[in-house]
């Protein structure tokens, strides 16, 4: 037997309604904020990710699914959604549209990681990309969208952690100070951090190893190094978040894993998912588009991991909404199946999700099946029902019954589902 590849999962028919509920909710919230969907290919030229994410990041140096296609091109399955959107923005001259432009995506992502709960090799992201202004209002709008998305999903206890990592100008001085601090403790730190020390010191604050994390706590704080413009941006955003009642904590150790961030960086974090507690990560990346050959464009965005959202919703017993079908029609015996098939057809034409017996089951087995498929209502059709044109409709969750005319069935269901 062939199994699913390590680190991937099927969304089974019994569980897929959760995905549909989450995706539909996220689309609705994106719509409220006037964001439009963008769909980009599942694979891109490898170069796109190397150049935009940065070859010193874990994603590019260790986690990408890269292969050569039959034409000899180096291709990579997308490990994240921002670089493809930026590529498309430049390639399709989307800056010619009215800016700011708000886009969202729901996409599979691929990273070669060690699979654990909440960490897969194929996972899914909902992401927002807002392009076209450098004002803190854009940061607020983006964070507010993420906050409302989490609330709309019914999630509780998720903390917004906010930081600013400045611009390349002020970050330079800060990274020098960081190197100065870490230099004397480097021998206690993990091998990856020893590597990061030379190549990307900011990332020393991003390490997940407990000892490196602890050492990181005593590191110099970025806020003391921000230039006036970056500081003003950060302070204005904090004020806006306060005004809008969006709670946050400043966490100076949030630097985000990817190279392209400038100024605002943020995460939404829960303590309920162990080490995989970050459900959403985002920030501002004003230099990304220019570094990829486009015009200088203020950008802010985030990505949420859908697997982590669903795990958390399950842990918090959130209701994932209604399950189909609305009604299951049972046949007293084989000779009434023709009639049942016609009846479900009428119901479906009236916008009601309906199904009926087709596999030679006994009536008892049909009741069991109706339960299994989570039908809201059950109806039994036999000779007397057909002759009298009246049926008993049973709410399967509590067993209550009501007698109605078959002619009134659609109307009754539409009122009661
Ligand atoms: P982590 O620190 O957990 O590795 P990250 O910084 O690599 O996360 P991002 O690149 O910011 O994550 O991706 C945004 C979101 O996508 C994360 O907050 C998380 O919810 C989700 N995510 C990232 N990697 C995975 C994965 N391998 N499996 C499942 N979800 C993931
Ligand atoms: Mg990661």
DSSP string over 120-184? -SEEEEEEEEEES--SHHHHHHHHHHHHHHHHHTT--SPEEEEEE---HHHHHHHHHHHHHHHHT
Q: How confident is the model at residue 14 (pLDDT cuts 50, 70, 90)?
A: confident
Phi-psi region of 154 (alpha: psi -120 to 50; beta: other; left: phi over 0): left
Average pLDDT, integer, range 339-353: 97
CB 81 within 8 Å of CB 90: no
Q: Is the pLDDT of residue 137 over 90?
A: yes
Q: Among the listed ranges 81-90, 323-332, 346-355, which one has the minimum average pLDDT value?
A: 323-332
Phi-psi region of 370 (alpha: psi -120 to 50; beta: other; left: phi over 0): alpha
How confident is the model at residue 85, as a pLDDT? 98
13-167+227-315 architecture in CATH? 2-Layer Sandwich (3.30)
Residue among 304, 312, 308, 213 nearest 255 (CA): 213
Measured from the Cα of 309, ligand 1's closest atom is: 20
How confident is the model at residue 67, as a pLDDT? 98
Which residue has a Cα nearest atom 5 of ligand 1?
257
How confident is the model at residue 78, as a pLDDT? 98
327-416 architecture in CATH? 3-Layer(aba) Sandwich (3.40)
Would you kindly state where each structural domain of the chain is located, as residue ranges?
13-167+227-315, 327-416
Ligand 1 center from residue 305 Cα (angstroms)? 6
Measured from the Cα of 275, ligand 1's closest atom is: 3
Residue 203 phi, psi (nearest 5): -70, -10
Q: How confident is the model at residue 371 (pLDDT cuts 50, 70, 90)?
A: very high
Rounded Cα–Cα distance for residues 31 and 25 (Å): 10
According to DSSP, the residues that pair with 102 across neighbouring strands are 130
Question: Any idea which ligand is nearest the CA of 121?
Answer: 1
Ligand 2 center from residue 135 Cα (angstroms)? 28
What 3-state class would DSSP assign to 36?
A: strand
How confident is the model at residue 207, as a pLDDT? 85
Other C-beta atoms lying within 10 Å of the C-beta of residue 339: 17
Q: Among the listed ranges 24-33, 72-81, 198-207, 348-357, which one has the minimum average pLDDT value?
A: 198-207
For all residues of the chain together, what is the average pLDDT?
Answer: 94
Which residue has a Cα nearest atom 28 of ligand 1?
119
Q: Is the pLDDT of residue 310 over 90?
A: yes
Ligand 1 test: best mutation among 276, 279, 282, 311, most atoms within 8 Å of CB? 276
**DSSP secondary-structure letter at 313?**
H
How confident is the model at residue 57, as a pLDDT? 84
Question: Any idea which ligand is nearest the CA of 267?
Answer: 1
Question: Any idea which ligand is nearest the CA of 53?
Answer: 1
Measured from the Cα of 80, ligand 1's closest atom is: 10
Other C-beta atoms lying within 10 Å of the C-beta of residue 221: 13
Ligand 2 center from residue 290 Cα (angstroms)? 25
Average pLDDT, integer, range 373-381: 95
How confident is the model at residue 18, as a pLDDT? 96
Q: Is the pLDDT of residue 58 over 90?
A: no
How confident is the model at residue 196, as a pLDDT? 84
Rounded Cα–Cα distance for residues 276 and 48 (Å): 27
Rounded Cα–Cα distance for residues 243 and 237 (Å): 10
How confident is the model at residue 339, as a pLDDT? 97
Ligand 1 test: best mutation among 108, 123, 258, 283, most atoms within 8 Å of CB? 123
Average pLDDT, integer, range 168-196: 89
Which residue has a Cα nearest atom 19 of ligand 1?
305
Question: Any idea which ligand is nearest the CA of 206?
Answer: 1
CB 193 within 8 Å of CB 186: yes
Q: Among the listed ranges 28-37, 142-151, 273-282, 374-383, which one has the minimum average pLDDT value?
A: 273-282
Q: Pairing mode, if any, of strands 327-331 and 299-305?
A: unpaired
Ligand 2 center from residue 59 Cα (angstroms)? 7
CB-based pocket (< 6 A), ligand 1: 80, 111, 113, 118-120, 123, 125, 257, 276, 278-281, 303-305, 307-308
How confident is the model at residue 49, as a pLDDT? 96
How confident is the model at residue 259, as a pLDDT? 73
Crossing angle for the helix pair 46-53 and 82-91, nearest 10 degrees?
110
Rounded Cα–Cα distance for residues 322 and 93 (Å): 42
Average pLDDT, integer, range 153-179: 93
84-136 pLDDT, tens digit each: 999 999 999 998 878 999 999 999 999 999 999 999 999 999 999 999 999 99
Share of the chain above pLDDT 70, in %: 100
Rounded Cα–Cα distance for residues 137 and 298 (Å): 12
Q: Is the pLDDT of residue 258 over 80?
A: no
Ligand 2 center from residue 80 Cα (angstroms)? 10
Residue 210 phi, psi (nearest 5): -55, -40
Residue 229 phi, psi (nearest 5): -65, -45
Which residue has a Cα nearest atom 16 of ligand 1?
305
How confident is the model at residue 273, as a pLDDT? 85
Which residue has a Cα nearest atom 12 of ligand 1?
281
**DSSP secondary-structure letter at 220?**
P
């Amino acid at each position: 037997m062939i199994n699913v590849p390590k680190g991937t999962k099927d969304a089974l028919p019994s569980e897929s309604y959760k995905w549909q509920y989450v995706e539909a909710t996220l689309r609705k919230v994106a719509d409220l904020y006037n964001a439009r969907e963008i769909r980009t290919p599942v694979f891109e030229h490898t170069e796109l990710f190397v150049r935009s994410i940065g070859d010193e990041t874990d994603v590019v140096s260790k986690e990408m699914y890269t292969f050569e296609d039959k034409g000899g091109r180096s291709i990579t399955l997308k490990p994240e959604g921002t670089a493809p959107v930026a590529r498309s923005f430049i390639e399709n001259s989307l800056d010619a549209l009215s800016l700011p432009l708000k886009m969202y995506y729901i996409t599979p992502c691929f990273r070669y990681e060690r699979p654990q709960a909440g960490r897969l090799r194929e996972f899914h992201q909902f992401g927002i990309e807002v392009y076209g202004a450098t004002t803190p209002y854009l940061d607020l709008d983006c964070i507010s969208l993420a906050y409302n998305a989490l609330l709309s999903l019914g999630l509780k206890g998720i903390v917004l952690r906010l930081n600013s990592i400045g611009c390349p100008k002020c970050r330079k001085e800060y990274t020098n100070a960081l190197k100065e601090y870490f230099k004397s403790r480097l021998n206690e730190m993990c091998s990856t951090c020893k590597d990061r020390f030379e190549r990307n010191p900011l990332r020393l604050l991003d390490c997940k190893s407990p000892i490196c994390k602890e050492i990181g706590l005593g590191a110099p704080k970025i806020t003391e190094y921000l230039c006036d413009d970056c500081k003003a941006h950060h302070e204005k955003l904090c004020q806006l978040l306060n005004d809008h009642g969006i709670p946050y904590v400043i966490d100076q150790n949030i630097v985000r894993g990817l190279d392209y961030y400038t100024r605002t960086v943020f995460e939404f974090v829960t303590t309920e998912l162990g080490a995989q507690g970050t459900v959403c990560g985002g920030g501002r990346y004003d230099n990304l588009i220019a570094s990829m050959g486009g015009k200088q464009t203020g950008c802010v965005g985030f990505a949420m991991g859908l697997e982590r959202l669903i795990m958390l919703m399950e842990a918090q017993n959130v209701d994932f909404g209604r399950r189909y079908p609305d009604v299951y029609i049972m046949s007293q015996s084989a000779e009434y199946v023709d009639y049942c098939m016609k009846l479900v057809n009428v119901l479906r034409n009236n916008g009601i999700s309906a199904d009926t017996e087709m596999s030679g089951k006994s009536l008892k087995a049909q009741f069991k099946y109706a339960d299994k498929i989570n039908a809201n209502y059950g109806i039994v059709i036999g000779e007397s029902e057909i002759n009298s044109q009246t049926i008993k409709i049973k709410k399967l969750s509590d067993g209550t019954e009501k007698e109605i005319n078959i002619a009134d069935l659609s109307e009754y269901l539409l009122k009661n589902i």
